[in-house]
Structure 1
Amino acid sequence: MTKKRLKRKAFFDSIKARRRLVIINEETFEEQFSLKLSILNVFILGSLGAIFLISVTSYIIAFTPLREYIPGYSSTQLKQDALLLGIKADSLEFQLNKNDEYIKSVKKVLTGDLEYAKVNKDSILASDYVDPSEYEMEAGKAELELRKQVQKEAQKK
């Protein structure tokens, strides 16, 4: 055999060799506990223990409310509130624009730039009106699948 193989064999033999762990009472020299181990067994047991500990910690962080304390994660309730507030802000902005147009038209009437008969709040509102029937509003196959997936995730939490 070559030197390299001999060294490798000697290394594996040394880590497979059985050793004895003994715990002795120091005052009476009585053996309290004895265990036969090898370096390979201790290494494997330590590795499995570390993997188990990491897995349990990851599971606890990922699937419990503890994840909300980690920067970057937020609660589902917070996400829903943010979405609703965004929708409300958009609708308020739209309403504000409509009111601004109405006030501008009233100012024109009061200053005499426009005749009163031509100013109608309904006509101002109709100018911003978009007919939804012009667009295809039916959900596609991908959107329906996404909706089902979101509903399943919301039910889990």
Structure 2
Amino acid sequence: MKANLEEQSWFNRLFTNLNYKYKLVIMNESTFDEKLSFRISRMRVFIVFGLVTLISIAFTIFMIYITPLKEYIPGYASVDKVKLVYINKLKTDSLEHEIAQRDLWLANFKNRILLGKDIDENDSINMIKDATVDYNNLDFNISKEDSALRTKWEKVPDYDLSNAPNTSKRGGISRFFFMAPIKGTISGGFNPQKQHYGVDIVGKKDAPVKACLDGMVILSTWSYDYGYIIAIQHDDHIVSVYKHNSTLLKNEGDMVSAGDPIAIVGNTGKITTGQHLHFEIWYNMNPINPAQFISFD
């Protein structure tokens, strides 16, 4: 038998060894009675363990496929999550763009309107222009479609609620109740032709300057021309400006309520003729005469 095995090839010898039959016997240790016996071979053991392993792997893959367990696999994400990530990315990009536009608007409003700085060729306001548009030859003629839309809208009554989904915002600036920043006499009136975009109010010495509406302080600084200046952003694109103060009581970013002291009236800055408050109201980037909405007496 041994000679026959040696004459066989290594593959045949391996196959023969794997198929050797073994008897597994379970006996009573005291009486040596045979209780149970199995005839097995190495090949059968390998086959059984191989089948069990394959079944276990297949069952695991199946359970991962039909249950949320697959979401714990690194690099795997459900379609809904991928869609949600994409939507959030778009919202984040839009928010970043909106914040950049807001910061640019605030910077230009502070520097150009409040502090009176000139615009140079490298100013950020020039960077947002569309290079494909010829701004020197713009067509301001009203189209037929625009004329028809204007005519249609002018015929809509103000009390038609079907065309006013948010009636709380109708009425513009006139729906606000402005508080007087100080009480006193107007020494200089509103005159945009002379670039005087507010009113000059002469009040008591060291009188507190109060916020005319609720809002957030967007500027609290000192300038050479206007001295100590403070500006507040209110609802509905309204900005109030207070110039020539002797002391500022609020910082940028502070939230204030109507009537809160924000500064002390003074006589600071180059462009001043005595102790007074220069008070301005801007609505949608346009100066408004404060005397039309506030009584300073």
Q: TM-score range by the shorter chain?
A: 0.5 to 0.7
Unaligned 5+ residue runs, structure 1? 115-123, 131-157
Q: Which moved more, 1:52-61 or 1:69-78?
A: 69-78
| 1:46 equivalent in alignment to 2:56 | no
Q: Secondary structure at the match of 1:9?
A: helix
1:90 maps to: 93
Aligned-residue offset at 1:112: 3.5
Aligned-residue offset at 1:61: 3.2
Matches within 5 A, 1:95-134: 95-107=98-110, 108-113=112-117, 127=129
Paired positions, count: 120
What is the TM-score of this pair, normalised by structure 2?
A: 0.33
2:11 and 2:86 mapped to 1: Cα distance? Answer: 63
- Out of 20, 23, 26, the position equivalent to 2:23 is 20
Q: Secondary structure at the match of 1:100?
A: helix
Q: Which residue identity does 1:109 align to in structure 2?
A: I
State percent identity of aligned pairs.
Answer: 32
Q: Secondary structure at the match of 1:86?
A: helix
1:8 and 1:102 mapped to 2: Cα distance? Answer: 84
1:10 and 1:105 mapped to 2: Cα distance? Answer: 91
Compared with structure 1, are the counterparts of its residues 4 and 76 closer, same or farther at alpha carbon in structure 2 (3 Å cutoff)? farther
Aligned-residue offset at 1:80: 4.0
Render the CA deviation track for 1:77-114: whole Å, top value 9, x for unaligned: 54444333222211111112222332234231333456
Q: Which residue identity does 1:56 align to in structure 2?
A: F
Render the CA deviation track for 1:55-88: whole Å, top value 9, x for unaligned: 2223333442223444444555544443332222
Q: Which residue identity does 1:102 align to in structure 2?
A: W
Higher strand share: 2
| 1:32 equivalent in alignment to 2:42 | no
Q: CA RMSD in A?
A: 3.6
Compared with structure 1, are the counterparts of its residues 4 and 53 closer, same or farther at alpha carbon in structure 2 (3 Å cutoff)? farther
2:59 maps to: 56
2:35 and 2:89 mapped to 1: Cα distance? Answer: 69
What is the TM-score of this pair, normalised by structure 1?
A: 0.55
Q: Which residue identity does 2:8 align to in structure 1?
A: R
Render the CA deviation track for 1:100-142: whole Å, top value 9, x for unaligned: 332234231333456xxxxxxxxx9x957x9xxxxxxxxxxxx
Compared with structure 1, are the counterparts of its residues 4 and 47 closer, same or farther at alpha carbon in structure 2 (3 Å cutoff)? farther
